[in-house]
Structure 1
């Protein structure tokens, strides 16, 4: 994952609500899967294994965050287990076919969570974060993002 992508995900996570958090986790997961598939096509096994492993970590995070007081969690857990096994199989067999199958399974879930996130009207999870304003200044071929509120006290005084 590129540094630019990491910054984008960090910015999105700093201002998301509960529903958007799941969508962002899926976006991170798809990025790692795409990185693994690209690494396999380039023939770099270590990068392939590392990206597939990080995708597996995201899947395990999704599994750990399930709330089994809701009936949908008992249906999502086996799907996540299946995807986790596909990721392990891809690394063991050194093939990207299982990763593509995992993406197909996750795409349907992603679409459902995206629709659910649109209906979520809860507030942001993180408080006292910097506000990001995009487009106040212009550069050729890019959009400049500016952080506001960076002068405020953030953290502990020693």
Structure 2
């Protein structure tokens, strides 16, 4: 994953509500699996599968088992984890594509739910980022401006 993509995920996380955070986790898992599918080196494939498994672990840890849907999601996540472990051993990219399909279906469902979430972002006191297009003689360029807060309320 590129540094620019990591920064994009970091920004999305700082601005996310609880339901949007679940969508971001699905996006992260999918991105790691995409990188694993595109890679030809065994070490990179295994590393990306491992990182995707860590994201699935986060999804599992966020389940509230008081609800029936959580138990159903646990079964699906557990199946995905077992499949990732198997793929890590035999490097079967067809299975990775199948897992990506499962995650995409789940992501779409949670994305629809997140559209209805009107709660505030989970993280407070985060950096403000303004992004937009700037017109100049050379054409259109994309500019990003952040506030220069060195101390976000934390002092040592």
TM-score by length of 1: 0.90
Match of 1:2 in 2: 2
Q: Which residue number corresponds to residue 113 of structure 2?
A: 116
Kept in 2: contact 1:56–1:84 (CA 8 A): yes
Determine the C-alpha separation between the residues in 2 that align with 1:155 and 1:35. 37
For the residue of structure 1 that corresponds to 2:72, the secondary structure is helix
Which of residues 61, 65, 83 in structure 2 aligns to 1:64? 61
C-alpha spacing 1:75/1:45, structure 2 compared with 1 (3 Å): same
Contact kept in structure 2, 1:136 and 1:144, CA below 8 Å? yes
**Structure 1: where are the runs of 5+ without partners?**
none
Structure-2 separation of matches of 1:64 and 1:124: 20
Gaps in structure 2 of 5+ consecutive residues = none
- Change over 3 Å in CA distance of 1:129–1:11 after alignment to 2: same
After TM superposition, the runs of 4+ consecutive aligned structure 1 residues lying more than 3 A away are 136-142
Q: How many residues are aligned here?
A: 154
The alignment yields a C-alpha RMSD, in angstroms, of 1.7
Answer yes or no: is the 8 Å Cα contact 1:89–1:98 preserved in 2. no
| TM-score in terms of structure 2 length | 0.92
